[in-house]
Structure 1
Amino acid sequence: MSDPVPMSEDWAVYQGVEDGLRAYLRDADLALDAIAGVINLADVQAFTCERVATTRSWGESLWQEVALTDGQRLILWHGDDEESDEAPGSLMFTSSVRTVPLTAIVDQGLRTRYSVEPNGMRSLHAVMLYLATQTPERSLTELTDEAGTKTVQFVETYRFSKSVTDGGRGQMQRLTQFGRALSRFSGQGS
């Protein structure tokens, strides 16, 4: 696990993924190495980032996420602080990268919420992006009223959100840009 570094810069002010990740992520080098293993960084069309700090029973933890597209794939990188399974009390860092073809995304929703001021003016308050695939994630068998059973399938989904209090205006605008890019590229039948 890398030593903590100040993470005060906003990634949204950077158009390039490398600069944005270096400004925002604690483990930018690990993220960039993993991402560069599956995509040429110059091919990145749009990206979004997230990080969440939490306190766990074993100490402070940082979860980091990068989602980007090259126009053909959704590429996800996650970095997470964890406690070791083999040696409780020891810390581990997990880095993972995943690629999903945009053709696998079958449903997308981009929701924008605005605060309404007393004078009627609207200001951007939150942006939420929802992506669903056909990839089964899990299933659940339920009893029915007719004493039979039915199986409900749940598909893999991805959710991204930014708000006034979580990222601010710049990150909300960049999440909107990311969602629109995914929609535009997936509509091209990659």
Structure 2
Amino acid sequence: MSRPAFGGGDLPAVFPDWSPYRDLPAAARAYLRDPEVALDELSAVLDGASVLGFTLERFVNEVNGVWQEVAVCDGSRLVLWHGEDVPPDEGPAGSMTSSLRVVPTSTITEVGCRRRLTRTPAGTMRVDSVDVYLLLSSIDETVPADDTPLPPRHDALRFGKTLDDGGAGQIGRLEEFARLVASVVGRPVL
């Protein structure tokens, strides 16, 4: 099974599993379409800092093509890379955006993890999805399309995995990432 890719060709509907890889470069090369772009951007900011944990996401959007994200925690920062294909009417074929965001862990005010559990026919419980949010102290500056004023709300980072989108290994790795971030939130930075 495959989905049409932006600019022609087919991309697999199910991407390779990155969860067995504990090393960020190996996981990125196994999973992302543009791993070298992501790794170059991330390494320039990490500048030798230890990668304590990470999570990866990738999906195909039928309008814009491939959307990719890497979130890395080095203990005092979250370093986020996002790559996305440019829609055909906004640039030449094969164009993409590459963006980087650095969020100090001191600005994370809350970490939440919601697991959906199902009971198998044998009666055991299984996690079939996980949603993680990181609430930030910064204010979300999104403006609605109709320019209606919205009450201020905090910015948030959201990550999710399901059995269909990532599988049990990626669900486990996302839960591990959430626990890591939760363990460093509120601790003094040395």
Shorter-chain TM-score range:
0.7 to 0.9
Aligned residues of 1:83 and 1:91 also touching (Cα < 8 A): no
Give the aligned residue type for 2:135: A
Paired residue secondary structure (1:11): coil
Q: Alignment identity in percent?
A: 36
Q: In structure 2, what is the equivalent of residue 167 of structure 1?
A: 166
For 1:10-159, what aligned pairs fall within 5 Å after superposition?
A: 10-40=17-47, 43-56=50-63, 61-83=65-87, 87=91, 90-138=93-141, 152-159=151-158
Paired residue secondary structure (1:13): coil
Aligned residues of 2:113 and 2:133 also touching (Cα < 8 A): yes
Structure 1: 4+ residue segments shifted above 3 A:
1-8, 84-87
Rg bigger for which structure? 1
Aligned residues of 1:130 and 1:159 also touching (Cα < 8 A): yes
Give the aligned residue type for 1:73: R
State the distance in 1 between where 2:22 and 2:181 align. Answer: 17
Aligned residues of 1:110 and 1:129 also touching (Cα < 8 A): yes
State the distance in 2 between where 1:102 and 1:24 align. Answer: 26
Paired residue secondary structure (1:75): strand
Q: TM-score, normalised by structure 1?
A: 0.83
Offset, 1:84 = 6.3
Aligned residues of 2:131 and 2:158 also touching (Cα < 8 A): yes
Over the aligned positions, Cα root-mean-square deviation in angstroms equals 2.7
Gap regions ≥5 residues in structure 1? 141-149
Gap regions ≥5 residues in structure 2? 1-5, 144-148
Q: In structure 1, what is the equivalent of residue 184 of structure 2?
A: 185
Higher share of residues assigned strand:
1
State the distance in 1 between where 2:11 and 2:120 align. Answer: 38
